[in-house]
Amino acid sequence: MAVTQRVLAAFLVLAMVVTAGCSRESDAEVAPVDVATRDLGAARVLRGQVYAERDTGALQLDLFLPEQQQERTPLVVYVHGGGWNAGVRTLDADLGAPEALTAQRLLERGYAVATVDYRLTGVARAPAQVVDVADAVRWLQQHAAQWQLDPDRVALWGASAGGHLVSQLGAVAGDPTKPGGGLSGIRAVVDWFGPTDMTAEAQVAHPRMQEYAARVVKQLLGCMPVECPAVAEAASPVRNVSGDEPPFLIQQGTADSLVPLDQSLDFAATLRRLGVTVEMHPYEGLDHGFGRGPHNALIVDTVAAFVENHV
C-alpha cells in the first residue's frame, strides 16, 4: 500500500512461546500505532505477495520499499524464528523489538526489506523450510525489475530458527545440488542466535540441548539426530560449509538459554578456517532474543554497518 503521510509514533523452553526469534508481547499488549509507523518508515509496502504454492497452501512475503530508493535497490531478506514450528513473518507488530528496529534502520539507509513465510514443521519436515526461503529469494530476484531491486545485492538475515535457515542457505550457496543451494547474488548473511549444529555429537557436547532436540529438532528432522545422523548433518550449517560462503555476521547473547553460545563460536571458527569473512559479536548477559533495552542500539548499528560494508 502507498504511504502518503509520515508521522512519528514499538532451542529447554517450549518453542511455541518463541514467535519471531524471541519471546515478545502479543499484539494486544502493543499500543495502537499509526499505519505509517507500522510500515517501519517504508515508502511503500506490498503485503501478502504469493511467491509459491504448496500442497499445504500459499507461501507469502511482505516487501518494504525505502523512501530513498535507488534505480537498483539492494535487498535484505528476513526469516523469522519460532523453533521451526511457530512464528510469523510480520516485523512491524512489535515496534520496540530489535527485529523491527533493525528493519527500520535498513530502510532508512535505502535498503528494501522482505519478510518471508516458510512451511512450519507441523506440515513439513526439513529441508522444506530452507527450500521455501530459497524459493522466496529467487522469486524476489525474478521480480526485481518490477520494484527496482538489485538481484545481485542480497543479504539474508534471520533470528533463532530463522538464523539457522539463513546460515544453511549461506553454507550451501556454492552448491546447487543441495536443498536450497546455489543461490546467486547473496552478498552477506546475518545470523541472530541460530542453532548451527543439529548432530547427536552436538547434543552430547551440550547436554541442555537434549530437551531442545527432543521437542523441536526431532519435529524438524522427523527423527532424533542419533537415529538419523545423515539427516542431522545435512541440516547443520556447520557441516555444510565449503569456503564459498558470503561474509557472515553472527550476533548472540552470552546468557542464551536456548542455543549454546559455543555453537555460534564454533561456527564462526569453522568459517574463518575456510577463509570466510566473519564477524562474531557475543553480547554479555543477553538471553535468546536480545530483549529490549539500550543494548539494541549497538546491535542495530552493527547490522547496518555490516550490511553497508558488504551489500
Taking the CB of residue 248, how many other CB atoms lie within 10 A of it? Answer: 28
C-alpha 221/C-alpha 155 separation (Å) is: 26
For each of the domains in the chain, give its residue range(s) and CATH number, in order of start.
15-310 (3.40.50.1820)
Global confidence as pTM: 0.88
Residue 283 has pLDDT above 50, yes or no: yes
Helix, strand, or coil (residue 95): coil
Count of helices and strands (H, E) across the chain:
10, 8
Q: What percent of the chain has pLDDT over 70?
A: 86
Give me the pLDDT at residue 29, please: 36
Could you tell me the pLDDT band of residue 19, with boundaries at 50, 70 and 90?
very low
Take residue 156 and report the three cell numbers written for it.
539474508
Question: CA nearest 103: which of 60, 62, 140?
Answer: 62
How confident is the model over 201-258, as pLDDT tens digits? 887 777 766 677 678 999 999 998 989 999 999 999 999 999 999 999 999 999 998 8
Return all residues near 219 (Cβ < 8 A) that are at least 6 apart. Answer: 83, 84, 85, 121, 122, 125
Window from 25-29, 136-140, 159-163, 216-220 with minimum mean pLDDT:
25-29
Q: How far is CA 242 from the centre of its chain?
A: 21
How confident is the model over 73-95, as pLDDT tens digits? 999 999 999 999 999 999 877 88
Give me the pLDDT at residue 127, please: 98
Which sign does the torsion angle of CA 135, 80, 156, 264 carry? negative
Helix, strand, or coil (residue 299): helix
Which sign does the torsion angle of CA 269, 277, 143, 40 carry? positive
Question: CA nearest 112: which of 91, 135, 81?
Answer: 91
Q: What percent of the chain has pLDDT over 90?
A: 77
Give me the pLDDT at residue 71, please: 87
Phi then psi for 37, rounded to 5 degrees?
A: -70, -40
Instruction: Give percent helix, percent strand, percent coil of the chain, each to the nearest 5.
Output: 35, 20, 45
Window from 1-10, 130-139, 273-282 with minimum mean pLDDT:
1-10
Residue 4 has pLDDT above 90, yes or no: no
The mean predicted confidence, pLDDT, of the chain is 88
How confident is the model over 169-193, as pLDDT tens digits? 999 999 999 999 999 999 999 999 9
Take residue 251 and report the three cell numbers written for it.
550476533
What are the CA-CA distances from residue 43 to residues 3, 29, 113, 278 (Å)?
Answer: 6, 26, 12, 32
Helix, strand, or coil (residue 99): helix
Give me the pLDDT at residue 210, please: 67
